[in-house]
Amino acid sequence: MTREPARNTATRRRDTLARLETDEDLWVASADADGNAYLVPLSFHWDGGVLTLATPAGSVTARNLRRAGRARLGVGPTRDVVLIDADLVAAYGTDDVPDEVAGPFAARLRWDPRQESGDYAFLRLAPRGVRAWREANELAGRDLMRDGQWLS
């Protein structure tokens, strides 16, 4: 296998933002109060600063995120991964989600949870840390964001 040269920070950031703008699904890792891990794939919308997820309001993921206020998100395949540590900044139900949150989510994903039976949680997560790498040669310099600030 031919390994490509390691990308610099600017290229990794550009590639990461492109993935957030074009991918539709990610993995959400959360934990319950006892520390039991839970991992689930969900669709997402990236608005340039915050990720919006939707899941049934009574789901394990919704309960864990509301309780803990944070999650780890994984976007992309294992050989081009973006890991995001994110903080919950807002949570809405089907009846109180603002149109400016639910509308872009529904338009991008061609699915509107507000039209489903049952209550959905719209969870807004702000990245606190972002890492991206493809191969072992990109492990150094994989940090792209710390404390909510992009690194240069």
- Is the whole-model pTM more than 0.85? yes
Within a domain: residue 1?
A: no
Within a domain: residue 130?
A: yes
Nearest to 120 by CA among 43, 54, 40: 54
pLDDT beneath 50: ranges in the chain: none
Q: What is the CATH number of the domain that holds 140?
A: 2.30.110.10
Within a domain: residue 2?
A: no
pLDDT (tens digit per residue) in 41-55: 999 999 999 999 999
Within a domain: residue 5?
A: no
Within a domain: residue 3?
A: no
Residue 124's Cβ-count burial label (10 Å; 0-12, 13-18, 19+) is buried
Cβ contacts of 115 within 8 Å, gap of 6 or more: none
Alpha-carbon span 50 to 146, nearest angstrom: 15
Specify the number of domains making up the chain. 1
pLDDT at residue number 68: 97
pLDDT at residue number 50: 98
Structural domain span for residue 143: 13-150
